[in-house]
Amino acid sequence: MSLKSTSNKALDRLNNAVNILIKYGFQSFLVKTGLVTRKVAQRNFPDIDPSLNRWQRMRLATQDLGPTAVRLAQYLALRPDILPDELIAEFANLEFPKMSITRANAEGIFERFTHLAAAKTFQYFDNQSTLQDGFTATFRAKLLTGEDVAVKILPPDTQTVVQADIALFKRLASLTSGVLEKLGIRNPVAILEDFERTILPELDLGKETDKMRRFNKAYKGMAGFVLPEVFSQYTSTNTLVTYYYNSTSVANASEFVSWGLQQKAVADRFLTIFLSGMLDTGLFLTSPLKEIVRILPDGRIYFADYGTAGLLTSDQRVWINDVLAALSTRNSMVLADSMRKLSYNTEVYDFQLFRNDIQSLADNLYFMESSDYYMREFALGIMRIAYKHKLLIPAEVVSAFSALAIAESITLSITPTSRISEFFKTYGHRLQRDRMQPDRFKSLFNKNITQVSDFLETSPLELSLILKKLRRGEFIANLSLPDSHTFFRRIDVSVNKLSLVILIAVLLIVATMIMVFGQGLYMFMGIPLVSGVTFVIALLLALWLIIYNARTRYNPKEK
Task: Indicate the pTM of the whole model.
Answer: 0.68
Three-state SS for 313? coil
CA nearest 271: which of 313, 305, 308, 224?
Answer: 224
Sequence-distant (6+) residues with CB within 8 A of 409 are: 92, 376
Amino acid making up residue 374: Y
Burial of 100 (0-12, 13-18, 19+ CB in 10 A): exposed
Greatest CA separation for the chain: 126
CA nearest 558: which of 509, 499, 503, 496?
Answer: 496
Question: How far is 192 from 169, CA to CA, in rounded Å?
Answer: 8
Question: How far is 213 from 222, CA to CA, in rounded Å?
Answer: 15
Q: Dihedrals φ, ψ of 295, to 5°?
A: -125, 135
Give, for 293, the enclosing helix (H) or strand (E).
Answer: strand 293-295
Torsion angle (degrees, nearest 10) of CA 17, 20, 25, 27:
30
Give me the DSSP letters along 469-535. HHHHT--------TTHHHHHHHHHHHHHHHHHHHHHHHHHHHHHHHHHH--SPPEETTEEHHHHHHH
Sequence-distant (6+) residues with CB within 8 A of 306 are: 208, 211, 212, 215, 285
270 and 414 Cβ atoms separated by less than 8 Å: yes
Burial of 433 (0-12, 13-18, 19+ CB in 10 A): exposed
Name beta bridge partners: 524: 527
Q: What is the DSSP letter of 237?
A: S
Q: Dihedrals φ, ψ of 549, to 5°?
A: -65, -40
Instruction: For the chain, give every domain's residue range.
Output: 9-97+160-200, 256-435, 437-478, 485-554
Q: Dihedrals φ, ψ of 373, to 5°?
A: -120, 35
How many separate helices (H) and strands (E) can be counted in the chain? 22, 12
Three-state SS for 152? strand
Residues belonging to the chain:
559
Burial of 77 (0-12, 13-18, 19+ CB in 10 A): buried
pLDDT in tens, the chain (559 residues): 334 433 466 677 777 887 888 788 777 777 766 666 666 556 555 566 777 888 888 888 888 888 898 888 888 876 776 777 788 888 878 888 888 889 999 999 999 999 999 999 999 999 998 888 888 999 999 999 999 999 999 999 888 889 888 888 888 777 777 766 666 666 777 778 888 888 888 888 888 888 888 888 888 888 889 988 999 899 899 999 999 998 898 888 889 999 999 998 898 889 888 888 888 888 998 888 888 899 999 999 989 888 888 888 888 888 887 777 777 777 777 778 877 877 776 777 788 888 888 888 888 777 766 566 777 788 888 888 888 888 878 878 888 888 888 888 888 888 877 767 676 666 655 655 555 556 655 665 665 676 666 666 666 776 777 777 777 766 666 666 666 667 677 777 778 788 888 888 888 888 888 777 777 777 777 777 888 888 888 888 888 888 877 776 655 554 4
Torsion angle (degrees, nearest 10) of CA 465, 471, 473, 478:
50
Helices (H), 85-187: 85-91, 103-114, 158-175, 177-182
